[in-house]
Amino acid sequence: MKLSRPHEECGIFGIHGHPEAANLTYLGLYALQHRGQESCGIVSSDGNTLYAHKRMGLVADVFGNQEIFKKLPGRSAIGHVRYSTAGASVEKNVQPIMVDYSRGSIAVAHNGNLVNAQLLKAELEAYGSIFQTTMDTEIIIHLLAVARTNSLVDRIVEALNRIKGAYCLLFLTETRMIAVRDPNGFRPLCLGKLGNSWVIASESCALDLIEAQFVREIEPGEMVVCTKEGDIKSLFPFKKIEPTPCIFEFVYFARPDSYIFGKNVYMARKELGRQLAREYKVDADVVIAVPDSGVPAAMGYAEESGVPFELGLIRNHYVGRTFIEPAQSIRHFGVKIKLNPVREILKDKRVVVIDDSIVRGTTSRKIVKMVRNAGAKAVHMLISSPPTSYPCYYGIDTPNRKELISSSHTVEEIRRYITADTLGYLSEEGLVGSIGVGNTNFCKACFAGEYPVAFPKPAQQPQMGLFEEEYKEND
């Protein structure tokens, strides 16, 4: 059972030149666990050989045994956490991918999604490539193997020039670690330093945990090469374009303690709440959040509106892990598994409930009902983002259009469906204005349907299928 939010698909972490590389990568992945809970893996290098450990499961489970680290020696390591996709044979899809090819060994960890994956795969197979996984990432490896240039950096550039889509990549060879962020800069990636060693992470919270110093973000289109000697080189090998980072990293993907585009996520979320209060003035006695991601916005709303903030819904700490619903013969407990209202707070009150998004509407409907059953006189649902009507093809696991309630219903229709007294979404201008990172041109695909990287025509859109296949929400 999962609450119906879109899911980030991956987080990556790497460190180069530290005697405890695998251990620190473990900690880094632990801090990035919110970006992917299905599987995780680490590949390390001792200068001559790559070593891997990867499994289905949470970081603390997969690496919860000191013995594992003895088998991950060396001063460099990269790691990956991945969001759950359904299906029996997913073990083989766990990252990082590690292969031997004509030039030696290489491992890759990838956060993102390629839009021309199927075309490239068909072409590679036609020339004799054999694929072992169903992941986009393996295409990059094959492109690398068939590249005609000579140096590793050139081969990577040659390979990446053929792919389109969203990617933050970490490569590890016997002696080098290389990080690349796509020219659109869809997903975040940052650079840190711990003593003399270089660290790369999807979010800054992973640097904090290992007490590494935040240096800067990796820029859109940048390639950073960490050499054997401990230096780093920065390259911009791709054609420069206007970056279009994902604004939803601020709305709900990133951890509140992370900094993205130089801005703290918690503060950004509070500002979204304040802006909501400016856009929607509601007569209410109390404002509550759908925990945990809605809390900062609810606090911002409370500050701006003067309506007191309370913890009206208590979250069970032990969700986040797998939860198997019991037999079908008893009714579906749904959201009650995760949340329990505090009657004392809600009884006879006019309640504002702040959440960060509505996907199918079923969860929101349950929450409204739960709050009303706890005695609320009125329930006003306010959402700290605009309606998301279009699926994401850049690394987020959204339902397909049919299931996105906003794609086929007006706000008023949704309000009736979720049985709220009021329903309000933050305006697009309100969102962009609140985040306000200079002139940044955020990607607006999911709410405006403007896709910054074109993808093959529908007939050739295997990703659609992919999303459907991988779709497993059942809130």
Q: Catalytic positions, please?
A: 10
- The least CB distance from residue 474 to a second copy, in Å, is 15
Return the bridge partners of 393, or none.
Answer: none
Calpha distance 345→341 (Å, rounded) = 8
Q: Is 262 in the site for a second copy (CB under 8 A)?
A: no
Q: Which of 182-190, 216-224, 342-350, 411-419 is the region at the interface with a second copy (rule: CB under 8 A)? A: 342-350
Residue from 240, 330, 454, 458 in contact with a second copy (CB under 8 A): 330
* Least distance CB 224 / a second copy (angstroms): 24
The residue from 150, 314, 429, 448 that contacts a second copy (CB under 8 A) is 314
Shortest distance, position 28 Cβ to a second copy, whole Å: 11
Stretch that binds a second copy, among 6-14, 111-119, 341-349, 422-430 (CB under 8 A): 341-349
DSSP state string for 419-461: T-SEEEE--HHHHHHHH--TT---BBHHHH-B-SS----GGG-
Nearest 5°: the CA angle 122, 9, 273 is 140
Tokens 């791709």 -> residue: 238
**Closer to a second copy by Cβ: residue 140 or 453:** 140
| Per-residue interface string for the shown chain with a second copy, residues 100-139, x marking contact by CB under 8 A | xxx-------------------x--xxxxxxxx-------
CB of residue 16 vs a second copy: minimum separation in angstroms? 16
Amino acid identity, residue 403?
A: E
CB under 8 A: which stretch of 280-288, 289-297, 350-358, 456-464 binds a second copy? 289-297
Annotate 75-113 with three-state secondary structure. CEEEEEEECCCCCCCHHHHCCCEEEEECCEEEEEEEEEE
Q: Hey, is 212 helix, strand or coil?
A: coil
d(CA 56, CA 54): 7
CA distances from residue 226 to 14, 178, 197, 200 in whole angstroms, order as listed: 11, 6, 9, 10
The nearest distance, CB 415 to a second copy, in angstroms, is 26
| Closer by beta carbon to a second copy, 353 or else 423 | 353
79 binds a second copy (CB under 8 A): no
Site for a second copy in 22-41 (CB under 8 A): 23-24, 26-27, 30-31, 33-34, 37
CA distance 428 to 363: 23
Decide: is 465 part of the binding site for a second copy (CB under 8 A). Answer: no
Which range binds a second copy by CB under 8 A, 42-50, 276-284, 332-340, 458-466? 332-340
SS3 (DSSP) at 133:
coil
Q: Check: CB of residue 218 under 8 Å from CB of residue 190.
A: yes
Helix (H) or strand (E) holding 225: strand 223-226
By CB under 8 A, the count of residues binding a second copy is 81
Q: Shortest approach of a second copy to residue 356 CB, angstroms?
A: 15
Using DSSP's 3-state secondary structure scheme, residue 273 falls into helix
Instruction: Decide: 391 and 401 in contact? Cβ < 8 Å.
Output: yes
**Using the rule CB under 8 A, which residue among 239, 240, 317, 457 binds a second copy?**
317
Q: Of 324 and 459, which has the nearer Cβ to a second copy?
A: 324
Q: Please provide the distance, in angstroms rounded to a whole number, between the alpha carbons at the two ends of the chain.
A: 6
Nearest Cα neighbor of 24 from 195, 173, 160, 209 is 209
Residues 131-190 contacting a second copy, CB under 8 A: 131-132, 141-142, 145-146
The piece of 8-16, 308-316, 416-424, 439-447 that touches a second copy (CB under 8 A) is 308-316
Q: Which of 154, 231, 292, 429 binds a second copy (CB under 8 A)?
A: 292
Q: Is 322 in the site for a second copy (CB under 8 A)?
A: yes
H-helix segments, 210-337:
248, 265-279, 295-305
